[in-house]
């Protein structure tokens, strides 16, 4: 039988560190997990292979033996010398990799694996991000079977302890000079066996269901903000706790405002006469109020005006950010005869002091060419 190199199975280099190996295994295990590939023998075989590879490479001593002797290290005592060691303290492979998602720790008898977490993407407007909102969403989840209360056994009957693992959910196997613990193949690590499964859930303790949930979005959320709904994810197998539902928020582009943290940005074009003479500008805010900004005489394009407290609310805090308006001075493109005449008259009266930047630029040009 052909034995595939453990590093090739996990698609990593032989020099990969522990973090890289764990990340590679996590990705492949999620891809080939039997729960996601029901009935697919190839996926099941691949899942077992990558689990075996990770089980070896995650442990420094096992990995050292494998690097030196290859698969022979775990065959009939292996070619690794005469001494042996007992590694019976290994925790279940899922606990070490998926513990933060699936819950449960090794202790007592069998492990309790909480249900998987779910993700839901929701799009909201900037106004909704400002004020917050309540919404109803519909999600398809696996929920605890009501007929058997999630036990997986037919109503009136009960599961019993697995005779193969004595209810521990794990069995030991000799691999060369190693003793390795694995999930019991009879009870799949649950520690219990169901002789008379529930007809509604077929012994799984879970059924597919569509759930409608109310979601409260707090004011001040931003792109990528995550709202957690505890216990609204997938139900755990045979009465185990449910996972969580994570709602990821995506804020639609606004026609006027752009956002950076709690600061709102807007661009406002003004006429060159307003720029020269000064004036005021009214911006409708997301808070429902009109914010009037004073435009000083002689303002230039690119100048920013700031209105304190007219920005986004602070998420789960107090106060508001600012509204920043960038001024764009617009040059007139269509002039009446009268307007053109007035501008011509204005040009004839110019002394250069009206626009010091322009005057200074042309002075520098003359000086530069004169120096040649």
Q: Which residues are annotated as a binding site for Zn(2+)?
A: 145, 148, 162, 165, 184, 187, 198, 201
Strand partners for 247 = 120, 227
- Residue numbers in the known binding site are 145, 148, 162, 165, 184, 187, 198, 201
Phi, psi of 77 (to 5 degrees): 85, -15
Helix, strand or coil, per DSSP, at residue 12: coil
**Residue among 207, 117, 113 nearest 169 (CA):** 113
- What's the number of CA atoms in the CB half-sphere (13 Å) around residue 319? 6
Residues 273 and 270: their CA atoms lie apart, in Å, by: 8
Residue pair 322/311 in contact (Cβ under 8 Å)? The answer is: yes
For tokens 């807007």, the residue is 266
SS (H, E, C) 188-223: CCCCEECCCECCCCCCCCEEEEEEEEEEEECCCCCC
Query: 97: part of which helix (H) or strand (E)?
Result: helix 93-102
Phi, psi of 355 (to 5 degrees): -125, 80
Find the helix or strand (DSSP H, E) in which 65 lies: helix 60-69
Contacts of 98 (CB under 8 A, 6+ apart): 26, 29
For 249, residues 6+ apart whose C-beta sits below 8 A from its C-beta are 122, 123, 124, 129, 217, 221, 222, 223, 224, 225, 226, 227
Give the strand order in the sheet containing 245-251.
118-124, 245-251, 226-229
User: Measuring CA to CA, which residue among 246, 214, 212, 204 is closest to residue 229?
Assistant: 246
Report the greatest alpha carbon distance in the chain. 106
Q: For residue 64, give both structure tokens.
A: 């050292």
């Amino acid at each position: 039988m052909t034995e595939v190199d453990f590093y090739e199975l996990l698609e990593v280099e032989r020099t990969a560190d522990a973090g890289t190996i764990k990340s590679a295994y996590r990705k492949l295990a999620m891809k080939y997990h039997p729960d996601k590939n029901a009935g697919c023998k190839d996926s099941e075989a691949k899942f077992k292979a990558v689990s075996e590879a990770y089980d070896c490479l995650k442990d420094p001593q096992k990995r050292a033996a494998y690097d030196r002797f290859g698969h022979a290290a775990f065959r009939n005592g292996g070619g690794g010398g005469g001494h042996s060691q007992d590694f019976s303290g290994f925790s279940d492979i899922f606990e070490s990799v998926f513990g933060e998602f699936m819950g449960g720790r090794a202790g007592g008898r069998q492990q309790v694996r909480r249900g998987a977490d779910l993700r839901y993407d929701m799009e909201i407007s900037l106004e909704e991000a400002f004020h917050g909102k309540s919404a109803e969403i519909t999600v398809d989840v696996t929920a605890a079977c009501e007929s058997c209360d999630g036990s997986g056994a037919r109503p009136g009957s009960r599961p019993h302890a697995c005779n193969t693992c004595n209810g521990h959910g794990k069995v030991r196997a000799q691999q060369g000079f190693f003793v390795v613990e694995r999930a019991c193949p009879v009870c799949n690590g649950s520690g219990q066996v169901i002789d008379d499964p529930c007809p509604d859930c077929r012994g799984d303790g879970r059924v597919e269901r569509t759930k409608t949930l109310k979601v409260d979005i707090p004011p001040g959320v931003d792109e990528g903000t995550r709202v957690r709904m505890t216990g609204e994810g997938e139900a755990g197998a045979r009465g185990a706790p449910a996972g969580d539902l994570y709602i990821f928020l995506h804020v639609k582009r606004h026609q006027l405002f752009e956002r950076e943290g709690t600061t709102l940005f807007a661009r406002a074009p003004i006429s060159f006469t307003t720029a020269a003479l000064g004036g005021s500008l009214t911006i409708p805010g997301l808070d429902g109020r009109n914010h009037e900004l004073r435009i000083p005489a002689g303002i230039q394009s690119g100048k920013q005006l700031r209105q304190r407290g007219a920005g986004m609310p602070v998420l789960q805090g107090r106060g508001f950010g600012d509204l920043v308006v960038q001024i764009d001075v617009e040059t007139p493109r269509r002039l009446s005869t009268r307007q053109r005449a007035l501008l011509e008259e204005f040009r004839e009266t110019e002394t250069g002091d009206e626009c010091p930047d322009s005057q200074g630029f042309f002075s520098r040009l003359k000086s530069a060419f004169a120096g040649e």
